[in-house]
Amino acid sequence: MLSKLVVLLFVLLFFLEQAKYAEGASERDDVIKGLLDKVAKSQIKETVPYDFPFNFYKQKGVFPSNIRLNFVGSPEDTLIRREFKIFDNNAFVTLWVSSILLETVRFNKAAQPSDEQMLNAIQAVYTYHDKNFLDHNETRLVFWPQTYNETAGTWSCAPLNLDKTVAMGEEFFVLAEKMFKDLDLKKFASKIAEFIQSIVDSVAAFYIPADFDDTFVNIGLGSLLKNYQSVSRQPYLSWLSNNTNNVQSAVKALKEYSYKPFSSSSGNSYIDPRTYFYLRKFLQKSHGTGQLFLVTTWVESLNESRAKYYKKYRMPFNINNVDLTVSANVLYGLTAAVLSDMQDPNSWFDEEVQMIYLNTTSLVMYEISNNFSSRPDLALTYYPSVFNFYWFTSRILNLLNLCDQLPYPVMQTVREIMRSIMYGVGTEFILKQATMQDNYIFFDDFLGVNDTDEFGKPVNHGDDRISSTSMAINALFYIWSNASSGQLSPNVPDNVQDTLVRACDWLTDEALSDKLEHMSVFFSGSVKTGDDLPPLFPANFIQRVNGSAILHKNSTNFDDVITAVTGLIPEDKYQELLNEPFFGYKISYDFHGYNSEGDYFPFWSSDTFTYAACICFSTVSV
Ligand SMILES: *[C@@H]1O[C@H](CO)[C@@H](O)[C@H](O)[C@H]1NC(C)=O
Ligand SMILES: *[C@@H]1O[C@H](CO)[C@@H](O)[C@H](O)[C@H]1NC(C)=O
Ligand SMILES: *[C@@H]1O[C@H](CO)[C@@H](O)[C@H](O)[C@H]1NC(C)=O
Ligand SMILES: *[C@@H]1O[C@H](CO)[C@@H](O)[C@H](O)[C@H]1NC(C)=O
Ligand SMILES: *[C@@H]1O[C@H](CO)[C@@H](O)[C@H](O)[C@H]1NC(C)=O
Ligand SMILES: *[C@@H]1O[C@H](CO)[C@@H](O)[C@H](O)[C@H]1NC(C)=O
Ligand SMILES: *[C@@H]1O[C@H](CO)[C@@H](O)[C@H](O)[C@H]1NC(C)=O
Ligand SMILES: *[C@@H]1O[C@H](CO)[C@@H](O)[C@H](O)[C@H]1NC(C)=O
Ligand SMILES: *[C@@H]1O[C@H](CO)[C@@H](O)[C@H](O)[C@H]1NC(C)=O
Ligand SMILES: *[C@@H]1O[C@H](CO)[C@@H](O)[C@H](O)[C@H]1NC(C)=O
C-alpha cells in the first residue's frame, strides 16, 4: 500500500526516511487503537433515566452528543462554551458514528468494531423510526426520540433532556449549581440565563417531523452493513429486519415532498425565503432547461404542517427548506443503495428519482462553485461545519469512482459533474483553508477562533481544530483516492498529497491529545443570528398557519406565521424587496461569520463523532 510519495521518499532519502515512515506508521496504529477504544467506551451501555441534576437521560446504544452554546470572547465565554452542556440522544450521531466505523474497515481490517457495538447502535436507531407512519408501512426517521401525545393522537419529537430542563423553569438554576459545582455559577448566572432563554425561545422549533437526512443516512448505513456481511452478517440481518422496504418508501416520500420551484400550481413550489435567497441564482440559471426537483429537509408538506401545527408535528417556521448537507446525504444514500443493489433498484430508481438525483447534484456543485452564494450559513442550513459538508460530499464521488461502468447513465453524468467540480474548485477551497505551522498542516473552522485572553488580546483556541482537520483530510482523501484499492489516484496533485502528509502527521500527534478540544459543530438550529429569521427575507406568500391574513406586519412572534416564496420572483422585483423592511426590520443580508458579536447560537457537538472522524484517516495511505 505504498503510495507515490512514499516511493519518492525511498528514492530521495533512502533509509533515513524509510525508518521514519515505519515509525510514523506504528505511531499511527497506536493512535487508531486509542481512538477506537474511546469510541467503543463512549457508547451508552445501559439506559440511564433523567434525574436532574444528577443524570441526564441516556439511551442504550446511542453514541453521545451534547447541546452547547457558541459563546465567543472572554475566558469566561470560553469556559462556558466548553463546560456547559446538555446530553442529547439523537439518531444522527449514532447513525454517523456507526457508518464511519464500517467505512473504515473497508481499508483497515484492524479497525473492526465489535458486533455488540453495532447491534446496540442498530437497535437504538430503530427507536427513531417515525412511529406515526409505522402502521402505514413507511420508514421515515426522526432526529429525536418521540413521545406519544394522547390529546393529539400523535407521536411528537423532542430533545428530551432539553425539554425537561426547560420545563423546570427557575428550579433549574438551583439544581444547576449542584451539577456545575466546578464552575463559579453566580458569575455566569446572566450568561446561563441567556442560554436557557435562547433555548426556551427555540423550543417550538424542536417539535419536528421526520427528515430526509436521518432517513437516507440510515439507508447509507444499510448499504455499508450489506457490504460488511463478508466480515460479519448479524448486524445487517438485524438492520434488515427493521428496514424491509425502507428504500421504496423513502424514495416515494422523496418524490412527494421534493421542492418543485417551476411547478407553481402544486403545493411543492413553496420554500423557506432563506432557501430562496441563497439558491435563486441557481434557479434562474436552470429556468428554461426543463423541470427542477430538489431534495428538501422535512418529510412534510405545507398543508400537512398546517394541519399538524397544534399537534406539535410540524416543520420549523412551518415551511420546508433545502440544506446542502442534507442534499449530500440523500445523494450518498441513493448512490450507495443503487451500487449495493438494495431492494431491486430498477423498481425504485425511476425517472423522477433520477431527476431529483441529477438536479440536486447540480445544485450542490453550483453552490460549491459559487462560494455558497456568500451565505454558507443559509446553504448549510443545519450543519455549519463546512468540512463536514465537504467530507459528506466527497464520499459520493468516492463511491461513484468505485467502478468504471455505472449501472445508470444518470450516474455517469452525475460523476462527470462531480469530478469537474471536486477535482477543481472543491479541492482548491479545502486547500485554501489550511494553516501551515512548523511543517504541519491543520484546519480551523470557527469554534474558539475569535476568543480573547485575560488581557483582552485575540487568541485562537481552535476548539474544532481536531474535528475540522480530520474531516478535511477525509474529504481530500475521498476526492483523490480509489475506493476499491484505497490508493491515492496516480494523478493526485502534489499540493494535495503534501497537505495530506502534513495534516496526517499533525493529526497523529494531536488526535488523542488533551491540549485541544474535540468539539465540532455537526448540527445547529437554522437561526444563528437575529437576522436569520425567515420573515425578514423577501417572500410572496405570508399568512398564519390557520390561513388568516396578517394585518400588521410588526409582530415579533413568528411562531404561527408562514412566510414562503412560491415560484420565481423576477430578480429586479427581488432587488427592490431587499431594500424594504419586513415586520419593521431592515437587515443587511450579509454574513459576518458564526462568531459575530452578540449572537450566541446553540449547537450540537460530539467528541465521539470527532474521534470516529479521526479513525477514518487510518485509511489514508500517504
Ligand atoms: C410494504 O411495502 C412493500 C413494498 O412497497 C410491499 O412489498 C409489502 O407488501 C408492504 N407490506 C404491507 C404489510 O403492506
Ligand atoms: C426490529 O428489530 C428489533 C431488534 O432487532 C426486533 O425486536 C423487532 O421485532 C424488529 N421490528 C420489526 C418491525 O421488524
Ligand atoms: C392545501 O390547502 C389549501 C386550502 O385548504 C387547498 O386549497 C390546496 O389545494 C391544498 N394544496 C395541496 C397541494 O393539497
Ligand atoms: C399534546 O397535544 C395538545 C393538543 O394538540 C397540545 O396542546 C399539548 O401541548 C401537547 N402536549 C405536549 C406535552 O406536547
Ligand atoms: C433536472 O433534471 C431534468 C430531467 O433529467 C433535466 O432535464 C434538467 O436539465 C435538470 N436540471 C438541472 C439543473 O440539473
Ligand atoms: C464568499 O463568501 C463570504 C461569506 O462567507 C464573503 O465574505 C466573501 O466575500 C465571498 N467571496 C466572494 C469572492 O464572493
Ligand atoms: C481502482 O482500483 C481498481 C482495483 O484496484 C481498478 O480496477 C480501477 O480501475 C481503479 N479505478 C480508477 C478510477 O482508477
Ligand atoms: C387565526 O389565528 C389568529 C392568531 O392566533 C387569530 O387571531 C384568528 O382569529 C384565527 N383565524 C381563524 C379563522 O381561526
Ligand atoms: C402593530 O401595528 C398596529 C397598527 O399600527 C398597532 O395597532 C399595534 O399595536 C402594533 N403592535 C405592536 C406589537 O407594535
Ligand atoms: C475571527 O477571527 C478571524 C481569524 O483570526 C478573523 O479573520 C475574523 O475577522 C474574526 N471575526 C470576528 C467576528 O471577530
1 has pLDDT over 60: no
Burial class (CB in 10 A: 0-12, 13-18, 19+), 382: buried
For residue 150, which atom of ligand 4 is closest to its CA?
Answer: 1
pLDDT digits (tens, 9 = 90+) for 35-61: 999 999 999 999 999 987 778 999 999
What are the helix (H) ranges across 287-350?
302-307, 324-339, 345-348
Residue 177 has what pLDDT? 61
Q: Which long-range contacts (CB under 8 A, 24 or more apart) does 538-542 make?
A: 538/273, 538/276, 538/277, 538/565, 538/569, 538/574, 538/577, 538/578, 538/580, 538/582, 539/273, 539/276, 539/563, 539/564, 539/565, 539/582, 540/564, 540/565, 540/566, 540/567, 540/569, 541/270, 541/565, 541/566
Residue 403 has what pLDDT? 86
320 has pLDDT over 90: yes
Q: Which ligand has an atom closest to residue 256 CA?
A: 3
Q: Concatenated DSSP letters for 234-303?
A: HHHHHHHHT-TTHHHHHHHHHHHH-B-TT-TTSGGGEE-HHHHHHHHHHHHHHTTSS---B--SBS--HH
Between 106 and 260, the higher pLDDT residue: 260
Residues 6+ apart with CB under 8 A from 49: 55, 57
16 has pLDDT over 80: no
With cell 478540544, the residue in question is 517
- Ligand 8 neighbour 546 (Cβ under 6 A): yes
- Ligand 1 neighbour 245 (Cβ under 6 A): yes
Smallest CA-to-CA distance from 205 within 298, 87, 128 is with 298
Element housing 436 (H / E)? strand 434-437
The band of 189, judged by pLDDT with boundaries at 50, 70 and 90, is low
7 has pLDDT over 80: no
> What is the arithmetic mean of pLDDT over 580-599?
90
Q: Which ligand has an atom closest to residue 398 CA?
A: 7
- How is domain 48-151+204-528+596-619 classified at the architecture level of CATH? Alpha/alpha barrel (1.50)
Residue 556 has what pLDDT? 72
What CA–CA distance (Å, rounded) separates 244 from 259?
27
25 has pLDDT over 80: no
* Nearest CA, atom 6, ligand 5: 290
For residue 547, which atom of ligand 3 is closest to its CA?
Answer: 4
* Nearest CA, atom 8, ligand 10: 450
* Nearest CA, atom 13, ligand 3: 267
Q: What percent of the chain stands above pLDDT 70? A: 90
> What is the arithmetic mean of pLDDT over 398-411?
95
- Ligand 4 neighbour 310 (Cβ under 6 A): yes
80 has pLDDT over 50: yes
Alpha carbon of 483 to ligand 7 centroid (Å): 8
What CA–CA distance (Å, rounded) separates 243 from 610?
28
- Ligand 9 neighbour 557 (Cβ under 6 A): no
> What DSSP designation does 458 have?
E
Give the type of residue at 148. Y
> What is the arithmetic mean of pLDDT over 58-66?
97
With cell 423577501, the residue in question is 538
Residue 180 has what pLDDT? 59
What CA–CA distance (Å, rounded) separates 287 from 289?
6
- Phi/psi at 540 (5° precision): -120, 15
- Ligand 10 neighbour 595 (Cβ under 6 A): yes
What CA–CA distance (Å, rounded) separates 115 from 235?
7
CA atoms within 13 A on the CB side of 49: 1
Between 16 and 93, the higher pLDDT residue: 93
What CA–CA distance (Å, rounded) separates 95 from 121?
8
pLDDT digits (tens, 9 = 90+) for 155-181: 998 888 887 877 777 677 666 665 555
Alpha carbon of 267 to ligand 3 centroid (Å): 7
Residue 13 has what pLDDT? 33
Helix (H, G, I), strand (E, B) or coil at 393: helix
* Nearest CA, atom 1, ligand 10: 450
508 has pLDDT over 80: yes
What is the overall mean pLDDT for the chain?
A: 90
> What is the arithmetic mean of pLDDT over 29-36?
91
> What is the arithmetic mean of pLDDT over 296-322?
95
Residue 12 has what pLDDT? 34
> What is the arithmetic mean of pLDDT over 98-125?
91
Residue 66 has what pLDDT? 94
* Nearest CA, atom 13, ligand 10: 596
Report how far apart the first and last C-alpha atoms of the chain are (Å, whole number).
9
Q: What percent of the chain stands above pLDDT 90? A: 73
What CA–CA distance (Å, rounded) separates 137 from 246?
9
595 has pLDDT over 50: yes
> What is the arithmetic mean of pLDDT over 267-291?
96
Neighbours of 119 (CB within 10 A): 17
Residue 222 has what pLDDT? 97
pLDDT digits (tens, 9 = 90+) for 199-236: 666 666 678 999 999 999 999 999 999 999 999 999 99
Q: Which ligand has an atom closest to residue 236 CA?
A: 2
- Ligand 8 neighbour 82 (Cβ under 6 A): no
What CA–CA distance (Å, rounded) separates 513 from 558?
45
> What is the arithmetic mean of pLDDT over 528-554?
91
* Nearest CA, atom 7, ligand 4: 310
Between 104 and 116, the higher pLDDT residue: 116
Neighbours of 187 (CB within 10 A): 11
Residue 452 has what pLDDT? 96
Domain definitions of the chain by residue range: 48-151+204-528+596-619
Mutational pocket test of ligand 5: of 262, 291, 410, 420, the residue with most ligand atoms within 8 Å of the beta carbon: 291
Element housing 451 (H / E)? strand 451-452
Report whether 512 contacts 41 (CB < 8 A). Answer: no
Residue 181 has what pLDDT? 56
Neighbours of 270 (CB within 10 A): 24
Smallest CA-to-CA distance from 468 within 385, 525, 393, 376 is with 385
Alpha carbon of 136 to ligand 2 centroid (Å): 16
Question: Which residues sit with their C-beta closer than 6 Å to ligand 5?
Answer: 286, 289-292, 355, 358-359, 362
pTM over 0.85: yes
What CA–CA distance (Å, rounded) separates 481 from 471?
15
Sign of CA dihedral 511, 513, 383, 85: positive
Q: Which ligand has an atom closest to residue 485 CA?
A: 7
Per the document, the length of the chain is 622
The band of 27, judged by pLDDT with boundaries at 50, 70 and 90, is confident
Q: Which of 11-25, 66-80, 498-512, 536-550 has the least mean pLDDT?
A: 11-25
